[in-house]
Amino acid sequence: MLGFDLPTIIANIPALLIGFAFHEYAHAWVADRLGDPTPRSQGRLTLNPIAHLDLFGTLMALLYRFGWAKPVMTNPQYYRGDKRRGQIMVSLAGSIMNLLVAFVVMFLWILTMHFIQGSQWSIYIGDVFEATLFMNLGLGIFNLLPIPPLDGFGVLAGVLPQRFTPQLRVIEQYGMFILIILLFTDILGKVLFPAVYGIAYAYQAIITLILTPFLG
């Protein structure tokens, strides 16, 4: 489903800035905690979205709710402990952060709508909450795909034995082309949208269960 209408794109802008900022900050923060000074030295240890935006990935996120930011550069040689485990942790951090942000957004959305229901601003505020929720879910799930330059490829590289490194480097050269083909043929949408909406419904059920005793 595309978001070509203007109100949807407008609602997606703050959603995208939040989603990308938290996603990339999580990568940078975990790498920094593991001892890698690279993200901090390159100004990526920040929630300022301007530091993280990638032009094409941003456009894809605005239109499809699936996209990517400018990758955080890291050097696993600095990681304390198991380097491959560190690579997996850094790769997973962004998607985990997006899924956590989505849960918080759903919580705030339900809570806010309870108190402003019927307000003339409720529709617009609800649109921003909805866009932020689905943007974060989309970014979190999409980036777990094992296709370069997505984070799932970093997880795959950390899990596979090192003898597969030459094959992974070959795939890395064509990753962007594979990604574009999958996006524009809507193959990814048919797989990812059910996952996104499934998690959203699960979040809604959990949070409604938590809040019902307090909100009546």
pLDDT of residue 149: 85
Give pLDDT, residue 216: 66
Q: Is 137 contained in some domain?
A: yes
40-54, 74-88, 118-132, range with the lowest pLDDT: 118-132
Q: Is residue 33 part of a domain?
A: yes
Q: What pLDDT does residue 185 have? A: 80
Evaluate whether residue 102 is within a structural domain: yes
- Residue 122 banded pLDDT, cuts 50, 70, 90: confident
The pLDDT tens digits for 126-160 are: 999 999 999 999 999 999 999 998 999 999 999 99
Quote the number of domains for the chain. 1
The pLDDT of residue 119 is 82
Provide DSSP, 160-207.
S-GGGHHHHHHHHHHHHHHHHHHHHTTHHHHHHHHHHHHHHHHHHHHH
Q: Is residue 154 part of a domain?
A: yes
Give dist(CA 80, CA 31) in Å, integer.
10
To the query of whether residue 130 is one of the catalytic residues in this protein, the response is no
**pLDDT over threshold 90, residue 11:** no
d(CA 162, CA 51): 32
**Residue 82 located in a structural domain:** yes
In a domain, residue 1? The reply is: no
Structural domain includes residue 174? yes
Residue 183: pLDDT band (50, 70, 90) is: confident
The pLDDT score that the predictor gives to residue 69 is: 85
Amino acid identity, position 145: L
Q: Is the pLDDT of residue 118 over 80?
A: no
Instruction: Identify whether 177 is part of a domain.
Output: yes
66 in Cβ contact with 138 (< 8 Å)? yes
If you average pLDDT over residues 111-140, what whole number do you get?
Answer: 90
Q: What would the pLDDT profile of 193-212 be if each residue is shown by its tens digit?
A: 899 999 999 999 999 999 99
Catalytic residue among 11, 20, 24, 150: 24
Query: What's this model's pTM, rounded to 2 decimal places?
Result: 0.90
Residue spans of alpha helices (H) in the chain: 6-33, 38-41, 55-64, 83-116, 122-142, 151-159, 165-184, 187-215
- Residue 110 clears pLDDT 90, i.e. is over it: yes
Q: Domain span at residue 106?
A: 6-215
